[in-house]
Amino acid sequence: MRDFNHIAAGLRLFCGRDSLNMLPVELDRVKSQRAVVFCGATVAQSPELLGAVRGILGTRLVAVFDRVRPHSPVESVQGGADLLLESRADAVIAVGGGSAIVTARAANVLAAERGGLLELSSQRGVDGKFVSPKLLAPKLPQLVIPTTPTTAMVKVGSAVFDPQTGRRMTIFDPKTRAHAILIHPEFVLSAPLELTLSASLNTLAMAVEGLESPAGNPLSDGMLMHSLRLLSCNLGKLVAQASSSELRCELVLASVLCGQGTDHASPGVCAALGHALGTQTHIDNGLANGILLPHTMRFNAPFTQQRLGKVADALGMHGSGRGVEAAIRAVEDLVASVNIPARLRDVGVPHEVLRSVAQAAMHDWFLHLNPRPVEDEGVLMQILEAAW
């Protein structure tokens, strides 16, 4: 066994019908009396969901920021930061999917650092390497009540979309890691089926890419493999059993495991292209990931074939069927089980946008962590053309 380090952050997670009752307990732990809730339209317009949060917070709830938008655009993040400052908040509660969680986290950073998003974000140098500035200001405790199986719950990075440039600015700050995650059946049932599917496909892509990564170790591999097992057991049932809270909670737990595992073994080219497609064409990242993943696996295969056996194994391909093609076939079968289109053209991606997608992906943080080096956008165009 090779030498490795595995330094894991603490996780406070509560799952079940009593989980929401832990919200005031967790706020007591951080001595919070002035919490601000971040959410999107689905939660804001639900008397049951937002009402439940209001009821349990009482006077501790000082404001609700309900202008979360897909992909966390700059305007939304800045508005959230302004509200945190105006309300003199001492805690942030994100209720929703990835956009709500990321918007709350990025607004938290922006309010504390009092700087511009560009100067706070990671930058790609002339040597192609990314450098992240150290963000030293204290951050507000952040709590998460998820509605979708998003890996964003356990992450410290916040990707903010700039509509003017078409690029994502990525901010990293370990002090924004969630203080507590509360998984409640009614909240995970509230998300539209297509959002749950998309978030689950995004988890699938991240788990596979994490297992492809040479930075993986036995502990991160264990998290990622069990994430794939949970996805394999539950994803194909989701369409027929969309009202099963147990199934949806299992998918949320898969995303938690994947998020933790990819803290140590990062995603790569599939995540970068999915991000760029999402912001350039407005299709969901997870849908893009589901279509792209088999193609990026083939691209990486010369560098990852020794690790793809773990993917095949986790997805039930045992014995002799554990090679590269077996792993790719298992992924293709799992994606096909949720009946999404197999090509980018079939989800409305125009061919003429592929070049700008490749250009945007070259500036994505995850790209430089891919196991096979990506030298230029021409390589990305080959993957996109194959997927199109």
pTM of the model: 0.94
Which of 271, 153, 139, 265 has the alpha carbon at shortest distance from 204? 271
What per-residue confidence (pLDDT) applies to 318? 67
pLDDT in tens, 93-123: 999 999 999 999 999 999 999 888 888 988 7
What's the rounded Cα separation, in Å, for the pair 176 and 142? 7
Q: Do 175 and 220 fall into the same domain?
A: no
What per-residue confidence (pLDDT) applies to 321? 56
Domain final residue pick, 154, 187, 220: 187
Q: Do 24 and 170 fall into the same domain?
A: yes
Residue 154 · residue 177 · CB < 8 Å? yes
Is 224 a residue whose pLDDT tops 80?
yes
pLDDT in tens, 318-335: 655 568 889 999 999 999
- Total number of domains constituting the chain: 2
Domain final residue pick, 187, 205, 222: 187
Instruction: Please report the beta strands in the chain, taking only residues with DSSP state E, as ranges in sequence order.
Output: 13-15, 35-38, 61-65, 91-96, 123-124, 130-131, 142-146, 157-162, 167-172, 180-183
pLDDT in tens, 8-66: 888 999 999 999 999 999 999 999 999 999 999 989 989 899 999 999 999 999 999 99
What's the rounded Cα separation, in Å, for the pair 86 and 26? 23
Handedness of CA 263, 268, 271, 275 (dihedral sign): positive
Is 126 a residue whose pLDDT tops 70?
no
What per-residue confidence (pLDDT) applies to 260? 96
Domain final residue pick, 135, 168, 187: 187
Report the chain's mean pLDDT, rounded to a whole number.
Answer: 93
Q: Do 267 and 171 fall into the same domain?
A: no
| Residue 196: inside a domain | yes
Is 143 a residue whose pLDDT tops 70?
yes
| Residue 52: inside a domain | yes
| Residue 287: inside a domain | yes
What per-residue confidence (pLDDT) applies to 179? 97
Q: Which range of residues forms the domain containing residue 70? A: 13-187
Find the CATH number of the domain harbouring 94.
Answer: 3.40.50.1970
pLDDT over 90 for what percent of the chain? 79
| Residue 145: inside a domain | yes
What per-residue confidence (pLDDT) applies to 85? 97
Q: Do 178 and 196 fall into the same domain?
A: no
Q: Do 174 and 199 fall into the same domain?
A: no
Is 160 a residue whose pLDDT tops 60?
yes
